[in-house]
Structure 1
Amino acid sequence: MKWIAQDVDLYSQSKEYVDTVLIPLCPLSLGTQMKQLASMYEFNTILTNEIERQFKGRLFLFPAATYFTDWTKEKKLEFIHEWTSKLSVDGVKHVFFITSDSEWKEIESEMEGTLIWSPYIPMDHVEDKYKRSMMEDQVKQLLHIFIQKWRQ
């Protein structure tokens, strides 16, 4: 399910079966990295949409949580804590964060929820017909992470 009106209605009707939230973490800067960050965002959007498609009915894909690239470690951890705290109160059992920003790996052990880091593939020169098959391959590699967490 996605953060769209139709899926929110579906979520409301089947909330007891949807115990997982996926939140893309997307860095933002208007500096020299802007094109690279936009490319990361595009990659993560395509990837998370494919993950949502695979797990429709079990997983709720939230809109991207954007943050500035110059945020400190402490601010990032506070940001994550805010998300996980609010979602926990609402009964969400599994919170997954997905990103292509490798800086999150440095604080992964201090984070609440599960971090999935996936190196991004620039999509600006890939034809649309190939994007989906590339993402299907990526998702196949990530499926076991979700299944493993659900079994715990």
Structure 2
Amino acid sequence: MKWIPQEVETYLNAKEYVDTAVIPVYSLSFGEEMKQSAAAFEFISLLTGYLEKQFTGRILLFPPFTYLKSDNMENVIDELIKWENVVLQSEFKHLLYITSELDWRMYENRVGGSLIWLPSLPLGNMSEPQKVEVIESQVKQLLSIFTQKWSING
């Protein structure tokens, strides 16, 4: 389910079945890194959109957690932990962050949710069918990660 009124209403009526919160994590960069930042955004946006379709009724796809690449990471982590605390108090059993930001791998032990890092694949020059094929391939790989997380924690 997506973070839109109709689907949030469905979530509110079926909380016992929707046990997983997915939060995309992006950084914004400007100047020379702007294009790379936009490519990572496109990749993670498409990927989480496809994940949401695969697991409709099991996950709620939250709006992205977005920060400036130039921000102090300690402050960024503190802000993400605020999100995390609120989400986990809202009866979600599982919290998964999805990002292509390599820096997060150094901090994954600081957050309570599971961090899934994927290298961003450049989709910019691909046709729509090619993008779909690449994203679907990535989602298939993530299916096993999701089912593993669910089997470990119920």
Q: TM-score, normalised by structure 2?
A: 0.94
Give the match for residue 100 of structure 1: 100
Q: Which runs of 5+ in 2 are unaligned?
A: none
1:76 CA drift (Å):
2.6
Give the match for residue 77 of structure 1: 77
Does the residue aligned with 1:122 lie in a helix, a strand or coil? Answer: coil
Corresponding position: 1:22 with 2:22: yes
Which ranges of 4 or more aligned residues in structure 1 deviate by more than 4 Å? none
Give the match for residue 148 of structure 1: 148
Query: Following the alignment from structure 1 to structure 2, what is the Cα–Cα distance between the partners of residues 89 and 52?
Result: 22
Letter in 1 for 2:93: K
1:36 CA drift (Å):
0.6
Query: Following the alignment from structure 1 to structure 2, what is the Cα–Cα distance between the partners of residues 24 and 91?
Result: 19
Give the match for residue 63 of structure 1: 63
Q: Is the 8 A contact 1:80 1:112 kept in 2?
A: no
Query: Following the alignment from structure 1 to structure 2, what is the Cα–Cα distance between the partners of residues 148 and 93?
Result: 14
* Identity, % of aligned positions: 42
User: Could you report, residue by residue, the CA deviation over 1:31-80 in whole angstroms, capped at 9, with x for unpaired residues?
Assistant: 32111100100010100011111111000011111011022231132122
Give the match for residue 6 of structure 2: 6
- What CA RMSD, in Å, does the superposition of the two structures yield over aligned residues? 1.1
Query: Following the alignment from structure 2 to structure 1, what is the Cα–Cα distance between the partners of residues 149 and 31?
Result: 37
> Residues 112-123 of structure 1 correspond to what in structure 2 (within 5 A)?
112-123=112-123
Does the residue aligned with 2:105 lie in a helix, a strand or coil? Answer: helix
Q: Which runs of 5+ in 1 are unaligned?
A: none
Q: Is the 8 A contact 1:73 1:107 kept in 2?
A: no
